[in-house]
Structure 1
Amino acid sequence: MADTVNATMHDFQPFPAPAKINLFLHITGRRPDGYHLMQSVFRLLDFGDTVHIRPRHDGAICRTEPIPGVAEIDDLCIRAATLLQQHTNSKMGADIHVSKHTPMGGGLGGGSSDAATVLLALNHLWQLGLKREELIALGLQLGADVPFFIFGQNAWVEGIGEKLQPIQLPHTCYLVITPRVHISTAEIFSSKELTRDTKPTTMATFLTGMVQNDLETVVRQQYPEVAKTLIWLSQFSKARMSGSGASVFAEFENQEQAEAVLARVKQTRELQQYADCEVSGFCAHGLNRHPLYTLAD
């Protein structure tokens, strides 16, 4: 443990873990095991966390500092490294540190992206040579969003998140705003008000914009802070919620327009007063591919 505590960051290699947004999210059914079936388009952003990793030769897998409220055994990064180690019978280990930038609990895939980055990076650092399909199968054991980040491309997503088809999306700038409220994803998905029988849509319909986030109605009802943030942001461009929230986003023609609205969020605190809660925000462009795409074949 002293080896971990005394580690200096220059010993670690940094690996990006980009955030994502759901351009729409339809709940089309529910499996007997309780998992919800969905359709969505996941878009990668050029904004996210950085996972710092230092390989170890003693087989130990450790995080360099605690995360408040998250036990090490429950940490998705530690679970990802342990799963990969067990799957391959590797004798290698790793020290792991995450520089968090993606808001936690925002529906932006932060934890899932971190776990995917650990799998991709350790596959490279430990020289395991696992193919992308095998890493995706491992990622699904950690969470429904993890396969997307290993897939590494903007995707049309179906099933519980494991059916992925690449989709071409135009270059776009986004403003993402996150009200500081804790939303329980499990509670939203178990809500009696949630529609679970949306008719399956098509890519052609998506391109017309005739889609929505089925979770948004439930979240608006239970979390007025999110509802108010959506109303405020819609003054400038059509606002939508990502995943189960709390983050909401809007598209802008260019970065200057997005940054002008972000300045109102940060400098005038106009939105904070309107939504009656702390808010944070960032601007980002859509990515075509994950920065670590080439680490898996």
Structure 2
Amino acid sequence: MDALLDQSMLQCPAPAKLNLFLHVTGRRADGYHLLQTAFQLIDHGDTLDIVRREDGLIHRTNEIAGVPEDSDLIVRAARLLKAHTASPYGAELTLHKILPMGGGLGGGSSDAATTLIALNRLWQCGLRRQELMNLGLQLGADVPFFLFGRNAFAEGVGEVLQEITTPDCWYLVIEPGVQVPTPAIFSSKELTRDTKTFRITDFSGSADKHLRNDLQAVACTLFPEVAEVIDWLSKFGNAKMTGSGACVFCDFADEISADEVLKQVPDRWISWKARALSQHPMAHLVQA
């Protein structure tokens, strides 16, 4: 991808994330849950083609099943940036979607962040990273992470971020074939909301086998397909669900090891491998 063209940015990457762990530590008065998690970027995700328009109109050029244009996070992100900056420009947005919806991979949030990064350059807005992150939080709790641009230890509702170093490894990811709606998980009476907090200095990456995803047990009860994948993948390592589900992942030290397990995944599931990223591929386009 050319880093910057005069009027367009093509094949802009919107990488997926994995939650190496996810603890629910409390609940605010407004109903939002307090979390601790570790976000890991991986080299697999959606891509966007973004073309600047001179007439100020914002338009998504392709259909996305189940996502009307007005509610699409990329369109909302573009409109939010335009309103914030009073930019005279518009944009044509084409989203090449490969990440599953309701998969816990942050696909929509990553798409929104990539849209903000690209349009900030194409429209010559000049917003710095923190200002973009503040805007992104209005779109969703995971959006600031993708704008942060590095793997991160997150607290609060997921917006308080500190950079962390994570292992250079490979991940095998399995899609169970179901969409897990986040509200159904967080509203469950079975959800544990009092996990003890810990310090970032106690986190050393995916080797922390005692760390878990507090949402996993609820998702497995509501969606047996998720439990089935976890049971199968656990034969090969420390399999966990990411986010609020439904995708399940396991880390491997090298690509060959991931490939060996990938060959064995039953055909009824979609599966793929991805390498850990140390930073967002578009992070260099945002001023600190």
How many residues of Structure 1 are paired with residues of Structure 2 in the alignment?
A: 278
Which residues of 2 match residues 106-255 of structure 1 at below 5 A?
Answer: 106-207=103-204, 208-255=208-255
Render the CA deviation track for 1:13-54: whole Å, top value 9, x for unaligned. 221000000000000111111111100000000111101101
SS in 1 for 2:264: helix
Alignment partners' CA distance in 1, 2:195 and 2:276: 27
For the 8 Å contact 1:205–1:211, the answer to whether it is kept is no
SS in 2 for 1:264: coil
SS in 2 for 1:25: strand
Q: After TM superposition, give the deviation of residue 209 of structure 1 in Å.
A: 3.1
Letter paired with 2:261: V
Q: After TM superposition, give the deviation of residue 12 of structure 1 in Å.
A: 5.7
SS in 2 for 1:186: helix
Alignment partners' CA distance in 2, 1:284 and 1:67: 24
Render the CA deviation track for 1:246-277: whole Å, top value 9, x for unaligned. 00000112111111211222xx53xx3xxxxx
1:86 corresponds to 2:83: yes
For the 8 Å contact 1:52–1:96, the answer to whether it is kept is yes
Higher mean C-alpha displacement, 217-226 vs 144-153? 217-226
Q: After TM superposition, give the deviation of residue 200 of structure 1 in Å.
A: 0.4
1:280 corresponds to 2:270: yes
Which residues of 2 match residues 59-78 of structure 1 at below 5 A?
Answer: 59-78=56-75
Pick closer, same or farther for the CA change 1:127–1:12 going to 2, 3 Å: closer
Which residues of 2 match residues 13-28 of structure 1 at below 5 A?
Answer: 13-28=10-25
Runs of 4+ that moved beyond 4 A: none
Alignment partners' CA distance in 2, 1:38 and 1:238: 21
What TM-score do the two structures reach when normalised by structure 2? 0.94
Q: After TM superposition, give the deviation of residue 220 of structure 1 in Å.
A: 1.1
Alignment partners' CA distance in 2, 1:102 and 1:257: 23
2:38 corresponds to which residue? 41
2:282 corresponds to which residue? 292
Pick closer, same or farther for the CA change 1:46–1:117 going to 2, 3 Å: same
1:95 corresponds to 2:92: yes
For the 8 Å contact 2:62–2:95, the answer to whether it is kept is no
For the 8 Å contact 2:18–2:242, the answer to whether it is kept is yes
Percent of matched pairs sharing the same residue: 55
Q: After TM superposition, give the deviation of residue 211 of structure 1 in Å.
A: 1.1
For the 8 Å contact 2:172–2:271, the answer to whether it is kept is yes
Structure 2, unmatched stretches of 5+, are: 1-7
SS in 1 for 2:52: strand
Letter paired with 1:79: R
SS in 2 for 1:120: helix
Render the CA deviation track for 1:142-178: whole Å, top value 9, x for unaligned. 0000000000000000001110000011201100101
SS in 2 for 1:43: strand
Q: After TM superposition, give the deviation of residue 204 of structure 1 in Å.
A: 4.2
